[in-house]
Amino acid sequence: MQQNQSHSVLITGSTSGIGLAIAHCFARAGHHVMLHGLASDETAQALRAEFAGYSGNQGFSAADISTEAGCAQLVADTREAIGNPSILINNAGIQHTAPAHEFPAEKWQQILAINLSAGFFLSRDLLPAMRSNGWGRIINIASVHGLVASEHKSAYCAAKHGLVGLTKVLALENADRNITANAICPGWVETPLIQPQIENIAREQQVDLDTARAELVGAKQPMARATNPSAIGELALYLCGEFANTITGAALPVDGGWSAQ
């Protein structure tokens, strides 16, 4: 980190899964963390309490980042709660699967808005202060689907490929201001989202959960085990540290060899 100081960090989609794991990694390291996501007041209070033991400040926003105005609201909420963020982690994402010829237009627009456009609007709004300060980090949580494709995921793959491309442009445009931009591209990650798929395989094939998990993950990944969400958080933290100050414009797969095939 810049002179080992604490930074203000905005992490979108950080109420659960990968985003929450990233938030804990940065909070443990002493940084001020802005949590974000669609959550009830009760859930938001529980999250704030969960982070209260860390030394840094924290805030929470439920801004709807599917619109430009919602992204602007999130930036305003963040500045009010923890100051101007010098680290932006675009993690929020949604998914819908269907063949391209049957893909609903509203789902296409929604996925591109949250998975791609929000990352652009937030980067655009926060970059002027990063450039003025001569330091900043932008980390886009893309996906292995930013590097390769899978059937029935036209919108998701288009958005994640776009996010990787955006990352490269931001890296080039800000290389002279000590600002790096990188994409992390996870494959299967151990989050609650994959549990129903594992249980469905176990039920259909009458196998135990470990066997079902290995089958689900191994269908795509040569290394048939999912990544711990904290591993994504630790990689993000590394990318903001002093030894990563020349890593920029990279798309880093954490995918058990999926994209190596």
> Among 43, 47, 1, 60, which residue's Cα sits nearest to residue 26?
1
Active-site choice (156, 184, 191, 221): 156
Between CA 250 and CA 239 the distance in angstroms is 10
Instruction: Mark whether 156 is an active-site residue.
Output: yes
Between CA 239 and CA 241 the distance in angstroms is 6
Between CA 229 and CA 209 the distance in angstroms is 19
Between CA 161 and CA 66 the distance in angstroms is 18
Between CA 130 and CA 174 the distance in angstroms is 9
| Cα angle, residue 99 at apex, residues 93 and 103 outer, rounded to 5° | 65
DSSP state, 225? S
In the numeric block, the tokens 């009760």 are attached to: 42
In the numeric block, the tokens 């993000």 are attached to: 236
Active site residues per annotation? 156
